[in-house]
Every structure is written in structure tokens, then in C-alpha cells.
Amino acid sequence: MSSPEPSSPLSPDVAQRLKRDDAGLVAAIIQDDTNGDVLMLGWMDDEALRRTLSEGRVTFWSRSRGEYWRKGDTSGHAQYVRSVALDCDGDALLVRVDQVGAACHTGERSCFFTDLDAAVCSDGATVSTGTDADAATTAPTGTDAADAATTTSTPTVAADVPATTPTPRSNA
């Protein structure tokens, strides 16, 4: 774990567990506490995390604007903190929230609404959906290359996570 920031506003116990990037930030995955949907990803430094923990509303550090922003202050789409967990490596936070309105600046409930349409095999390998030749060279052993080539035409996307069955998304 990285050492705490010199003047961290966090308790020493929390600060010493965080593994920050070169800019002093930790990724914060925001998840709906009610249904488990992943809503968005933001970035927090020690002060943003302190505000999140002490105020009960999610605060991020905006890398593009170079300032703090509390989710919902301008849009009304607030995130009320239910719990905060640190991952095993200390480099990511999971913030479970009660979401009011849309989480995404586009108006979507979740920022993760763009499906890459990549065909992922049961062994986790990604199949190219370009040409038949591509499919034949990238299809994993035991997979019929012709079946792999019949998926929609999109670029190959590398996947190093196990394949899972996606949960249908509610548009409510």
C-alpha cells in the first residue's frame, strides 16, 4: 500500500490502506444499493473520500475541471451513501448508494449503457467478428469458426475476465 498523503484529511488507518495513482486518486465504482447495478466510475482523492464518508453524499475529484463536485448539486441526481468498501489491493473503492434520478450526465440511469457487442466464449476468449479468416484464427480450441463468424461485425475486444450472462437492464 502507498503511504498516506502528507496532510491527509482521512484517519491514518484509512489513509494508509489507499493505493493512489500518480495524481493521488483512487477509482470509485458507484453501485446501486437496491438492485446492484453499476452506475458509474469516478475518482476520489483523500479529501473527496473524507467528504463522502462524513457528509453521506458522494463527492468526486473532477480530473477535467480540477475541482471537487458533489454528485447531484447541480443536476438534482444525488447519490446518498449506504456503504463504502476498499478492494483487496487498496486501489479501488466500491460505493453503494441510493441513487436519485440518473447517474450519467447523458440522462441514462447508468453510465454503462454502451454494449461493445463483443462475442465472449465460455473460456473467456474474445472472438473477432470481422472476417471469416479473423474468426478462424481467433476462435478458441473446440469452437466452430463458422459459428464464431456469424456474430455481429465489431472489432475484437480483449477480455481477461470470465464470461458471465448479462443481467437484463431495466429502462425504468
Going by the annotation, the residues of the binding site for Mg(2+) are 87, 89, 91
Long-range CB pairs of 69-74 (<8 Å, 24+ gap) are 71/42, 71/103, 72/100, 72/101
User: For residues 19 and 168, what is the distance between their CA atoms, to the nearest angstrom?
Assistant: 34
Contact indicator for 40, 81 with CB cutoff of 8 Å: no
User: For residues 162 and 148, what is the distance between their CA atoms, to the nearest angstrom?
Assistant: 18
- Annotation: binding site: 87-89, 91, 104, 111
User: Reduced to 3 states, what is the DSSP secondary structure of residue 47?
Assistant: helix
Which amino acid would we find at residue 69? W
Specify the DSSP class assigned to residue 57. Answer: B
- Annotation: binding site for Zn(2+): 88, 104, 111
Q: In angstroms, what CA-CA distances link 105 with 17, 39, 171?
A: 31, 11, 16
